[in-house]
Structure 1
Amino acid sequence: MGCCHYESVAEGCDSAFTVDASRITFGRGCLSEVGARARALGMRRVALFSDERVARLPLFQKVHASLKASGLDVVLYTGVRVEPTDASFQDAARFASEARPDGYVSLGGGSVIDTCKAANLYATHPADFLAYVNAPVGEGRAVPGPLRPHIACPTTSGTGSEVTGITIFDLLSLHAKTGIASPLLRPSEALIDPDCTDTLPGEVTAASGLDVLSHALESYTARPYVRRPVGPGPRPMSQGANPWSDLGCREALRLMGVYLERAVKDAGDREAREQMMWASTLAGIAFGNAGVHAPHGMAYAVAGGVRDFRPSGYPQDEPLVPHGMAVIVNAPAVFRYTAESSPERHLEAAGWLGADVRGASASDAGEVLAGRLLHIMRAVGMPNGLGEIGYTEADLGALTKGTLPQQRLLQNAPREMTGPVLTELFRQALRYG
């Protein structure tokens, strides 16, 4: 179970990996430290980012009061959109450019943290919006220098955005998600307080928790770092599975197997909610140093093309597929396909998630892991495939087209993800038996 399973380095491929991480404070009540942390980072005028729902909660007042008690000038931005778009990112960037803070605090889920990252980037290093966006959608221009300090305070146990250099949004003109990736986007610090998740609806806990599971599973099964061709410039964050990322993936998957269903079904289970938050942190650090692959790449097209689906537990004013849901509905089909690349890793992951892998052979790996994923999905109330969120056979071409630009993710997969392969995977994901 502890073996790294890395083959020898191929000619022209990398022989080393890079580890980056934010400073992390984890534990109940640590949000009260935000004012002191901000002052220690040299902040004097702070932009506090959140969304309208979080801004009405006592924890928002707790953070605001801590900043004010530390003598900081605080300007508020609470207009973050759930599942942000290029338009909402640009609105936040305009606010930051006009407010001219010398530091940022984000309080919310991944949408809030990602929006704050983008606002910080464009206010610090102004450019055309697509300049920094991942190629081939945007220019993929390197972030030219450090950003203002940013303290991220997650309120969900899911995205891991507080410890990654990635920010994701919906590009409205393409009806698909894409993003910006740079180590310089990674928040300076993260204050991870499990108290924030105690009141989360079960549906949100389920979707965000399955995002955690997918981060860990995709990073653990990603193309190994020794298969990444050496290229000019620094290593990408999607450098592939490596010994450092494996550590976080293993423990995150184990915790998911033990606590996910408990955390979804009983909001009063504080132990389960806390362990989910810790798993999210571990998986975030892992995929921030290895990268995810096909399920996430496919999810961006799924979320971007939604028509009428409105999940319970989320705002009902417009159609929405929560990110973790958009990822997990593709996962069983993907891991059936990728299992032949590293059957031992797929079986190990299934075991950590609670599957009985005794007597399973390499040829069983895909079915065993897919079966375990489907068991977990059903246990926490996820749709049984893309068909239950409104997609049909007629959408397969559009879903494939929306996924192909996600080359940063697709190239990190352990098997080739061509257009025909993706179309077949989407077909399999329409409904599971």
Structure 2
Amino acid sequence: MFQFSLPASIKGYDTFAEFAQAEQIQSTDLLITNRFIYEPFMQACGLPCPVLFQEEYGAGEPNDQMIDAIRAKIPADTGRIIAVGGGTVIDIAKVLTFVGDWSAEDIFTGRVVPEKARRLTVIPTTCGTGSEVTNVTICELKNLRTKKGLALDTMYADEAVLIPEMVRTLPYKFFATSSIDALIHAVESYLSPKAVAHSKIYSEKAIEMIVSAYRAVAANGAESWKDHAADFLTASNFAGIAFGYAGCAAVHALSYPLGGAYHIPHGEANQLMFAEVLRTYRKKQPVGRLNDLEALFGRVLDVEPAQALDTLYRLMETILPRKPLKEYGMKPEEFPQFADSVIEGQQRLLKNNYTPLTREDMIDIYNACY
């Protein structure tokens, strides 16, 4: 038995001004965004609601201190949160729909089961997280020196709004890391044992759209990605739908210690783990859904299935060159504790692996990336 649904309604507009004109934004709404997004796209719209800028409460990806600081500034009469931004803004906004007496660490460690009391509208400004259609949020817990994910049905957005205008101004590095994240979402959800025909359709289409656009970018130069911004945004949304149902797995699980301990951006950390995780899958279980994935990439890349994944890795390196872990300052003696933290804290993801990985497998993957 399975049940596939899209809890968030999905809308599309060409510009933020068009969205603002069509939507009835009220003084009881709260806009959470970044100033560099607000000033060019939203300031002239004369919005009646208060605005909070995420960067004024901390830099980088979401952490518990940032969430707690922003939460303290939410007006008491807020009925809806409008989140306009990348993964940091969106993940924070999901938590801020909750009311009650809690800290972010309470929620992410399971000490408190929160209650949603505010509506959520999400407008993504990157082409990677797919977070506008998932019930997942990620947070760095400063005291615990790790990242943890939380998946609750109450964290689905009520509305997801896709506006290509918001993506085209991304710096190249943010485009690269976010779109690679979307591609890995699509691959992991495709290989997940929880995948069904309905979720696989979204995974497959996301893979086709991203890889086809990557080939065009590789042929025409880095800045040509903007010509495909709408495709990358749509593909990210499709991948979000797919992994929202089937889940992500070991690539994401193994990347979290890298982000938590060394603050490597999420998509970049995922790419560091991606090839070695899939190579380990192939060694441990060479026959299975992985062969279907190889055939899919073979069709999109115009190569034989046996060469498809290696061809993909080279294409991804063209989009974002991958560095060895040693260049981030890591040491091999850290890898056993990384593996232990993954086993202890990321079972939510590890249960979606194509094939089980042991502690020794995980340490070997880190060493292979060193």
1:241 corresponds in structure 2 to: 195
Q: Which amino acid aligns with 1:410?
A: L
1:156 Cα deviation from its structure 2 partner: 0.8
Task: Assess, with a 3 A threshold, how the Cα gap between structure 1 residues 261 and 286 changes in structure 2: closer, same or farther.
Answer: same
Are 1:294 and 1:409, in contact at CA under 8 Å, matched by a contact in 2?
A: yes
Matched, 1:49 2:32: yes
2:50 is paired with a residue whose SS is strand
The answer on whether the counterparts of 1:386 and 1:429 sit within 8 Å (CA) in structure 2 is: yes
* 1:24 and 2:10 correspond: yes
Match of 1:300 in 2: 256
Paired residue type of 1:49: I
- The residue aligned with 2:342 is 403
Q: Deviations over 1:77-127 (max 9, x none)?
A: 44354311111111122222x444111111110101111111222xx2433
| 1:132 alignment partner, one of 102, 107, 125 | 107
**Distance in 1 between residues matched to 2:149 and 2:140, nearest whole Å:** 8
- CA pair 355-89 structure 1, distance change in 2 beyond 3 A: farther
Deviation at 1:31, TM superposition (A): 5.2
How many residues get paired? 361
Aligned to 2:295: 348
Instruction: Kindly report which structure 2 residues correspond to 1:206-355, keeping only aligned pairs within 5 A, or say none.
Output: 206-223=176-193, 240-260=194-214, 262=216, 265-267=221-223, 270-306=226-262, 320-339=263-282, 340=285, 341-351=288-298, 353-354=300-301
- In the other structure, the counterpart of 1:113 is 90
Q: Determine if contact 2:124/2:132 at 8 Å carries over to the other structure.
A: yes
Taking the aligned partners of 2:326 and 2:209, their CA distance within structure 1 comes to 30
Query: Structure 1 length normalisation: TM-score?
Result: 0.77
- Measure the CA separation in 1 of the matches of 2:225 and 2:4: 37
Give the corresponding residue for 2:64: 86
Would the aligned equivalents of 1:206 and 1:260 in 2 still touch at CA under 8 Å?
no
SS of aligned partner of 1:53:
helix
Give RMSD over aligned pairs: 2.3
SS at match of 1:173: helix
Check 1:428–1:191 CA distance in 2 against 1; reply closer, same or farther (3 A cut).
same
Deviation at 1:270, TM superposition (A): 4.0
Q: Evaluate the alpha carbon distance shift between residue 342 and residue 173 of structure 1 in structure 2; reply closer, same or farther with a 3 A threshold.
A: same
Match of 2:167 among 188, 191, 197: 197
- Structure 2: distance between partners of 1:193 and 1:281: 12
Flag the 1:31–1:398 CA change in 2: closer, same or farther, 3 A.
farther
Tell me how far 1:414 sits from its aligned partner: 1.9
Amino acid at match of 1:132: I
User: Does structure 1 retain, via aligned residues, the 8 Å contact 2:129–2:178?
Assistant: yes
Equivalent residue number for residue 133 of structure 2: 163
CA distance in 2 between counterparts of 1:263 and 1:280 reads 17
Displacement of 1:392: 3.4
Cα distance in structure 1, aligned partners of 2:73 and 2:270: 31
1:144-167 Cα offsets, whole Å, 9 max, x none, are: 4x4311111111111111111111
Pick one of 305, 310, 315 that aligns with 1:376: 315
Distance 1:217 1:401 in 2: 25
In 1, Cα distance between equivalents of 2:155 and 2:171: 29
Structure-2 separation of matches of 1:373 and 1:141: 42
- Residues 152, 162 of structure 1: 8 Å contact kept: yes
CA–CA separation in structure 2 for the residues paired with 1:386 and 1:199 = 30
Is the partner of 1:218 in helix, strand or coil?
helix
User: Partner residue of 1:423?
Assistant: 363
Change (3 A) 1:182 1:400: same
**Whose helix fraction is larger, Structure 1's or Structure 2's?**
2
CA separation in 2, counterparts of 1:61 and 1:348? Answer: 48
Query: TM-score, normalising length from structure 2?
Result: 0.89
1:331 maps to amino acid: F
DSSP-derived class of the 1:106 partner: strand
Deviation at 1:260, TM superposition (A): 2.7
* 8 Å contact from structure 1 (residues 44, 102) kept in 2: no
| Residue in 2 that maps onto 1:234 | none
Matched, 1:179 2:144: no
Note closer, same or farther for the CA distance 1:31–1:179 as it changes in structure 2 (3 Å cut).
farther
1:166–1:180 CA contact under 8 A, matched in 2: yes
